Amino acid sequence: MASMSLRFAFVLFWISILSSTVLSDLVISKIDRRIDLTSQIVRVVSSLKVENRGRDTASEVLLAFPDIQAKNLAYLQSSHHEGKGKGKQSAVSLPVTLVQPEGMPSDLTFYSTSLPKGLEKGESFTLDVLAVFTHSLKPFPEEITQADVQLVVYQDSAYYISPYEVRFQTLAVRLPSGRVESYTKYPSTKLVESDIKYGPFENLPPFSYIPIAVHFESSYPFAVVQELERELEISHWGNIQVTEHYSLVHGGAPLKGGFSRIEYQSRPPIRGESSIRHFIAMLPPRAHSVYYRDEIGNISTSHLWSDSKMTYLQIEPRYPMFGGWRTSFTIGYGLPLRDLLYEADGKRFLNITFGCPINEIVIDHLIVKVVLPEGSKEISAAVPFVTKQSQEVKYSHLDIVGRPVIVLEKTNVVPEHNIHFQVYYKFNNLALLMEPFLLISGFFFLFIACIVYMHTDASISKFSASYLAKQQLDEVRATVQQVLSIINRVLAVHNKLETSLRDLSRTGDVQSCKAARKAADGSFKDLAKELKPLLGYLQSSPQASQIWPKVEELLSKEKELQEKLMGKHSAIVDGFEKKSARREVENRVASIDQKLAILRQEADELLDALDDF
Amino acid sequence: MAPKPITSPVPVEWYPSLSVLMLSIGLVLTASFFIYEATSSKRSRSLAKEITIGAVSSFFLGFGSLFLLLATGVYV
């Protein structure tokens, strides 16, 4: 009876809101709403059973949110479960679009969900809607001291606000604990442990509304990232470098009065319960080269551990974060290329998660920058929700034209956005060689500079005596080097002759030995011809006066050497041809060999001495 | 066509050893270049030989330093 009179009292209320006739003939026959207030993010899960009472086929369902809530709406997903009861598993996601239907109250925001197939007269359809709100829990009192617990207020409507008639509805509000300061009580309102239950309410016309407020204790750290910039730099040499710049604020009730570290550390579970001690970032598996530093490069405490599915990074800011306090830090890590980069149909694509790796965090403004390698073309991004996209160019290590960057921006990001997105681009593997080519040309330029320096003549007075003397000395040196190289070639011919003699004693082939002799004679003549102008120059040059005796000595030694060798050669060949006694030949040769050895040694010493000139 | 994972052209584990190998070859060649520059006189020097040694050693130094960068975590 009491509930009847109450409902009657509210009739006036909804009549005033209802500004025009409701166009659709849809009716919500049953709705269960669950509001989850356990963290700083408010999640409202509604399961609606929609029934078509009209004659026309309905193809969409309108979802209404008050403007106050809609501006904090971060994520809205509508899905349909195939099958019923426990068998329902495969959820089909339905498209949701922002619409502005005519003749509806102006302070409501409408979203339209398209149904997979038209809803005929008398049919019903079950829909699951997940709406995620940020910044919806208001701290009250607005400021607290270190010893206080944090109390927050949540406001909503006990009735489901809908442009359709609602036949039967229930609402459950889940709180982090049973400690509730106050809550709006209506008949049939129950507090069971940490759940507040409203309803059931029956047969409510469109746009019914009664306010509720829940004032409860929440020690959940309200970590809010005001701006997060994630930079994903792809290197085809085998790495994806992720760098994340956080500028973070504790969005809970601001701290009133001073902060006492003694109190904080002596009774940590009680004092400063809502403060943030550390964050845990869940990085992809096989993340390596992980670092954490704050804005000016201080390295603070961090711990890293991993299993096959995740790499966990626990980071501690330099001070515990209380309400209203800020910090900013940077974390970075490398990921192996093969886990995230794929090729299909001639295009390459990066497949990586969008949001930040820290759990239950709200990001006001997220910027994701994907830095592609130099030479990438036809860049496009596929993100499953609306983002602001733009392109820019970044200059990094060993770049010539800069790397193309695709920038994705989104406001109001919640963990639900932490899903994979793709960036497609075309890349030729030859462009990989740009970086080594740059390094090689750098080094080559250095060598060329050395060569040019050694080849240029930088002296100013080209006719001074000392300059000319130096020039001549250089020339003498070069000539001596040439002479030495010719002498070395002559000595090489000597060696050849000796080898032919050895071959003769082994095989007895006189003809080949004679041929070798002939060839040697020819080359001796050629070399002597080459030597002549050089010697002429050395003899005439005044700069060569010091070196000339030595060269002369070397030449005479060489001549003697040549004569003796020829003598030896003739003796052995003669001995072979006349078949004279072996011993006789050997005796003659032995004395020549001795002299040859001495001459060779002398020639070598002279060569060494001249080489140092 | 199923997406195929992309890997680096050279296995990442090889970078340190490749860098040591190529840098040592490059440095030996550089040394020989400078020895040649210092010992040969202006007239006996051959430009082709200088450029050849320079080119080969800069190839090895270039790739060696690239692999050194990659091995130390500077992914270019």
Question: Residue A418: what pLDDT?
Answer: 93
Residue A20 pLDDT level (bands cut at 50, 70, 90): very low
- The H-assigned helical ranges of A418-547 are 434-455, 465-507, 510-540
**Assigned token pair, A592:** 């020549």
Nearest CA-CA partner of A163 in A52, A97, A64: A64
Write out the E strands in A316-461: 326-336, 341-344, 347-353, 362-371, 377-382, 388-394, 403-413, 420-426
Residue among B50, B55, B65 minimizing CB distance to A439: B65
Q: Which whole-number Å values give the CA distances from A502 to A227, A234, A316, A370, A512, in the listed order?
A: 89, 69, 85, 76, 12
Find the helix or strand (DSSP H, E) in which A99 lies: strand A96-99
Question: Residue A21: what pLDDT?
Answer: 42
Question: Is the pLDDT assigned to residue A63 strictly greater than 70?
Answer: yes
- Determine the average pLDDT of the residues in A355-378: 93
Residue among A342, A435, A475 minimizing CB distance to B3: A342
Q: Is A332 on the interface with B (CB under 8 A)?
A: no
Question: Is the pLDDT assigned to residue A380 strictly greater than 80?
Answer: yes
- Determine the average pLDDT of the residues in A144-157: 91
Query: For residue A435, how many C-alpha atoms fall within 13 Å in the half-sphere facing its CB?
Result: 25
| Chain A residues close to B13, C-beta within 8 Å | none
CB contact under 8 A, A443 and B58: yes
How high is the mean pLDDT of chain A? 86
Give the pLDDT confidence of A450-507 residue by residue, as tens digits. Answer: 999 988 877 788 788 888 888 888 888 888 888 888 888 888 888 888 888 888 878 7
The answer to whether A345 touches A247, Cβ cutoff 8 Å, is no
The answer to whether A156 touches A68, Cβ cutoff 8 Å, is no
φ and ψ at A198, to 5 degrees? Answer: -115, 145
Residue among B5, B54, B66 minimizing CB distance to A444: B54
The highest-confidence range among A137-151, A594-608, B55-69, by mean pLDDT, is B55-69
CB contact under 8 A, A481 and B58: no
Residue A535 pLDDT level (bands cut at 50, 70, 90): confident
Nearest CA-CA partner of A198 in A252, A228, A154, A237: A154
Question: Is the pLDDT assigned to residue A3 strictly greater than 60?
Answer: no
User: B18, B49, B74, B76: which to substitute to probe chain A, counting the most A Cβ within 10 Å?
Assistant: B76
pLDDT cut 90: percent of chain A above it: 45
Residue among A436, A451, A475 minimizing CB distance to B54: A451
Question: Is the pLDDT assigned to residue A272 strictly greater than 80?
Answer: no
| Chain A residues close to B35, C-beta within 8 Å | none
Q: How far apart are CA A104 and CA B43, in angstroms?
A: 97
Instruction: Name which residue leads in pLDDT, A390 or A579.
Output: A390
Question: Residue A17: what pLDDT?
Answer: 47
Q: Name the minimum distance, in Å, from the CA of A562 to any CA of chain B.
A: 27
How high is the mean pLDDT of chain B? 92
Amino acid symbol at A18: L
Q: Is A22 helix (H, G, I), strand (E, B) or coil?
A: coil
Question: Residue A124: what pLDDT?
Answer: 85
Crossing angle of helices A465-507 and A510-540, in 10° steps, is: 170
The answer to whether A293 touches A329, Cβ cutoff 8 Å, is yes
CB contact under 8 A, B3 and A436: no
Residue A86 pLDDT level (bands cut at 50, 70, 90): low
| Chain B residues close to A450, C-beta within 8 Å | 33-34, 37, 54
Burial letters A379-395, b for 16+ CB under 10 A, else e: bebebeeebeeeeeeee
Cis peptide before A200 (omega within 30 of 0): yes
Question: Is the pLDDT assigned to residue A579 strictly greater than 80?
Answer: no
Amino acid symbol at B20: V
| Chain B residues close to A435, C-beta within 8 Å | 66, 76
Crossing angle of helices A582-611 and A465-507, in 10° steps, is: 160
| Max Cα-Cα span within chain A | 151
Question: Residue A84: what pLDDT?
Answer: 57
Residue A268 pLDDT level (bands cut at 50, 70, 90): low
Question: Using the 8-state DSSP alphabet, how is residue A143 labeled?
Answer: -
Q: How far apart are CA A183 and CA A171, in angstroms?
A: 14
| Chain A residues close to B29, C-beta within 8 Å | none
- Determine the average pLDDT of the residues in A215-228: 92
Question: Residue A211: what pLDDT?
Answer: 92
**Assigned token pair, A364:** 């006001």
CB contact under 8 A, A447 and B58: yes
- Determine the average pLDDT of the residues in A182-207: 89
CB contact under 8 A, A478 and B58: no
| Chain A residues close to B7, C-beta within 8 Å | 238, 337-338
Q: Is B48 on the interface with A (CB under 8 A)?
A: no
Question: Residue A9: what pLDDT?
Answer: 41
Question: Residue A424: what pLDDT?
Answer: 95
Q: Which whole-number Å values give the CA distances from A569 to A249, A487, A593, in the listed order?
A: 100, 20, 11
Q: Given the DSSP bridges, would you call strands A279-283 and A311-315 parallel, antiparallel or unpaired?
A: antiparallel
